[in-house]
Amino acid sequence: MDSIEFATRCILVCLKWRASVTSWGRTVKRNDLIHGEPNSLHLIWLGMDVVLDVMEKNLEFEKDCSKFKLMAIFEKDHYHLQPAGV
């Protein structure tokens, strides 16, 4: 999945779930400043952090993401989205 297809899938999920994007593509410098993982998918535009209007673990949201071939990783104050299987 390229970054355009990834973005399209994320937008569709965010529209459905009324989610807001808080982080997407990053430079190495910005990733370092926020203590991101050195091999973060944000560096190649295949990682996106989103928040739901009601931010809590949501299994239905996670299942919907998987239908779009996205993995939704709950990180307490946001979800990290990335292509499934990466």
Contact 73, 79 (CB under 8 A): yes
* Beta strands 48-52 and 79-83, pairing class: antiparallel
Q: List the domain range (segments joined by +) for residue 21.
A: 3-83
Residues of the chain with confidence (pLDDT) below 70: none
Domain count, the chain: 1
Tell me the CATH number at 41: 3.30.1380.10
